[in-house]
Amino acid sequence: MFTKVYEALNWASSFLEEAGREAKAGELLLLHILQQNRTQLFMNMREELSEQQKSAFIEAVELHKQGIPIQHIIGYEEFYGRRFEVNPEVLIPRPETEELVIGVIERMNMHFPNQGPLELVDVGTGSGAIAITLSLEASRLNIWATDIANSSLQVAIRNAEKLEARVTFIQGDLLVPLIQAGKKVDIVVSNPPYIPNDEELSVVVKDHEPHRALFGGNDGLDFYRRFMEELPAVLKDRAMVAFEVGAGQGEAVATMLRNTFPHASVEVKDDINGKDRMVYALI
């Protein structure tokens, strides 16, 4: 079938393309199996693979052909230059969410220029990617992170421990744990489920990522509506809200925020692909 690195990559790309998968997936899987970076891989294109490496690579490519996400095969995803454990209990972090983190830090520094420490809650934390990254990138933040699923929180806790981030994790539904504790915060950040219930998704996403982290009702906006009911109970007088939204949902979510906080400065921001992806409210 193949013996050298370049032959393995050629086989994988054509095999995966025929199955309707990304050809580049083969390279990511081989990097993991060989424990190399891309530079090393390209320098070693004519190297022979051991029998063990060949069989591990074939097995991994077969699994991805069946629809299992690459991240579940290798066990992690890179986010903001750090490696986060992922499994079927959490949403795989996306590059667009890195843009949300950048936007939060920029607007926090503008809205709270000389104030610290600040209290922030990441709602629906999943793998903990947002909360942990903010903790490591902005030392003046005291960070809380909530998730309805204990199985998701266990992944986030392991990621925080491994990356040595200070985050307090709480199990609960949206902002309810904070409301019950009578806690007020300066900043609320969330990447909630926002996919409409009837939207067609690829098998890789639909069959392998938790539906509780994907679907947000008939129009995808159910969780934002709930936020509008709960946010006034947890935000301090001067505050900030930052949401990730689905493409085409920006203005709808911005309108909700303007109605809930009439004096807020609300902004819809496009992602690197030109799709409305982040909504910020400075209160």
Detail the residues annotated as belonging to a binding site.
124-128, 147, 191-194
| Three-class DSSP labels, 21-73 | CCCCHHHHHHHHHHCCCHHHHHHCCCCECCHHHHHHHHHHHHHHHCCCCHHHH
Annotated binding-site residues for substrate read: 191-194
Peptide bond into 117 cis (omega under 30): yes
**Lookup: tokens for 61:** 């490519």
Q: Is 176 helix (H, G, I), strand (E, B) or coil?
A: helix
Question: Residue 107, SS3?
Answer: helix
CA-closest candidate to residue 213, choices 86, 92, 77: 92
The annotated binding site for S-adenosyl-L-methionine is made up of: 124-128, 147, 191
Task: Provide the 3-class DSSP secondary structure of residue 85.
Answer: strand
Pull the structure tokens for residue 283: 């209160």
d(CA 174, CA 164): 25
Question: What CA–CA distances, in Å, run from 23 to 5, 18, 28, 70, 78?
Answer: 15, 9, 10, 12, 19
Cα 145 to Cα 157: distance, rounded to the nearest angstrom: 10
